[in-house]
Structure 1
Amino acid sequence: MPYRKELFVFDDGKPIPAVVRNYHEGDFDELIAIQAECFPPPFPSDLWWNKEQLQNHVTLFPDGALCLEINGELAGSLTGLCVNFDPAHPVHTWDEITDSGYIRNHDPEGNTLYIVDISIRPKYRKFGLGQLMMQSMYHVVIEKKLDRLLGGGRMPGYHRLAAELSADEYLGKVVSGNLKDPVISFLLKCGRTPVTIVENYLDDEESCGYSVLMEWKNPFK
């Protein structure tokens, strides 16, 4: 079912009309440009979205391909796929669970909406768009009667304290409010809760390869 939500975002208290909607083929160039802005060099450009991946997103699971538009410009995107997640066996890598972003493993009968990627243009990050887009994906979870939304959260602040704290200890301090992590704290504000820590989830020096699986359970299930 096509998704479209009109709303206002605020820039220094001034309301600005915006819309969350499904992205489509006409958005591909701008979506790739957003990736370039979010992940500039030395991040390798071959890891930005490519058009084959984006075509798969809008073909295999268009309901999980969302973007937010402000004044005719795309400000960010959020992409997901459906998987059959077993909480008793939670460990996986990003490549395994997302098919390296190509989502050819999308399971229409899956029980979980899994977040592949969220990207917000740097100039719009003060607008709180990440939370708005995550809320929109919660709507998809409810509409499809899925058990949960799930995804791996990077811990980009961990490398500074890795010599002093284990990954579990670092997460505990973020959850208790004694530390703030740019990604994990954001996901907590979005209503996500930790499930487990996964080692070697991504080749991510800042997180020392760790990620926190974090879920939002469907309150109507």
Structure 2
Amino acid sequence: MLHKQFYVFDEDIPAKIVIRNYGKDDIGQLIAIQKESFPPPFPSELWWNETQLENHISFFQEGALCAELGGKIIGSMTSLIVDFTEEKPEHTWESITDNGYIHNHKKDGNTLYVVDICVSPAYRKLGIGKWLMQSMYETVVHLNLDRLLGGGRIPGFHKQPEHMSVEEYIEAVLSGELRDPVMTFLLRCGRTPLTAVENYLDDEESRHYGVLMEWRNPFKHSTSGNS
């Protein structure tokens, strides 16, 4: 199980952060962070519920992380293990995460898949999301998996002309011509775009696309086409 402590800086003031696996005693705080992070008009039924969080803990606690400051949980990140092949990348968030319930967690899979990352708005300037992502990379290495993978929203896409393709949008972000709130954050975390998936989420801002972005395990060199 993961448990680490380090300092982040609030301007010039160091603050000690703990990143660890969350447990049942943390469920109330985790739901509260969802409410803070995704206020109305975000639908409340999409916040984590107790059953989902209990499943994360019982099925795959190694993939259930939280960030803590002064004993208060300020962020979380959840994952499951799946089998993924680049030849068949099409899926939806609901199908690959079992709508967040992760009954389909596969212990012998090859890929750590991001279900969710969430940081309380008051603490986002501390870089907590990036540190949670780094901790998931460490989990990939610890479990000897091929990669970390997840579908990122591209909420800036709807602001572009209708004739712009999703591939053109991705290239514009990669060239620095455009900045996307989610994709740019994931790039800063070390993730690399793999492909765009249509109808990944019911998400008008992203025109219902998700961009699969990966981090490959640098300690695992496989010649398999499924890696």
Match of 1:137? 136
Q: Which 4+ stretches in 1 moved above 4 angstroms?
A: none
| Residue ranges of structure 2 left out of the alignment (5+ in a row) | 221-227
Q: Which residue identity does 1:70 align to in structure 2?
A: L
1:71-220 → structure 2 map (5 Å cutoff)? 71-220=70-219
Q: State the distance in 2 between where 1:153 and 1:162 align.
A: 20
Q: After TM superposition, give the deviation of residue 166 of structure 1 in Å.
A: 1.3
1:206 CA displacement? 1.1
- Structure 1 SS opposite 2:106: coil
CA distance in 1, matches of 2:32, 2:158: 28
Within 5 Å, which residues of 2 pair with 1:31-110? 31-110=30-109
Q: What secondary structure is seen at the aligned counterpart in 1 of 2:87?
A: coil
* Structure 2 length-normalised TM: 0.96
Equivalents in 2 of 1:18, 1:144: separation in Å? 24
Amino acid in structure 2 at the alignment position of 1:32: I
Distance 1:80 1:62 in 2: 9
* CA distance 1:171–1:123, change in 2 (3 Å): same
Q: In the TM superposition, what whole-angstrom CA distance separates every residue of 1:116-167 from its partner, at most 9, and x where no partner exists? A: 0000000001111111010000000000000000000000111111424211
Shift of 1:105: 0.1
Residues 11-30 of structure 1: per-residue CA shift (max 9 Å, x gap): 01211011000001111011
> In the TM superposition, what is the alpha-carbon distance from 1:9 to its structure 2 partner?
1.2
- For these two proteins, the number of residue pairs brought into alignment is 220
Q: Percent identity?
A: 58
Distance (whole Å) between structure 1 residues aligned to residue 51 and residue 30 of structure 2: 13
The AA in structure 2 aligned to 1:119 is C
Aligned to 1:13: 12
One-letter identity of the residue aligned with 2:140: V
Q: CA RMSD in A?
A: 0.7
SS in 1 for 2:75: strand
Distance (whole Å) between structure 2 residues aligned to residue 163 and residue 84 of structure 1: 34
Return the TM-score normalized by structure 1. Answer: 0.98
Distance 1:56 1:79 in 2: 11
Q: State the one-letter code of the partner of 2:2.
A: Y
Deviation string 1:79-113 (CA, Å, 9 cap, x unpaired) is: 00000111111110000100000000000000000
- In structure 1, runs of 5+ residues without a counterpart are none
Give deviations 1:45-74, integer Å, cap 9, x for gaps: 011000000000000000000000011111
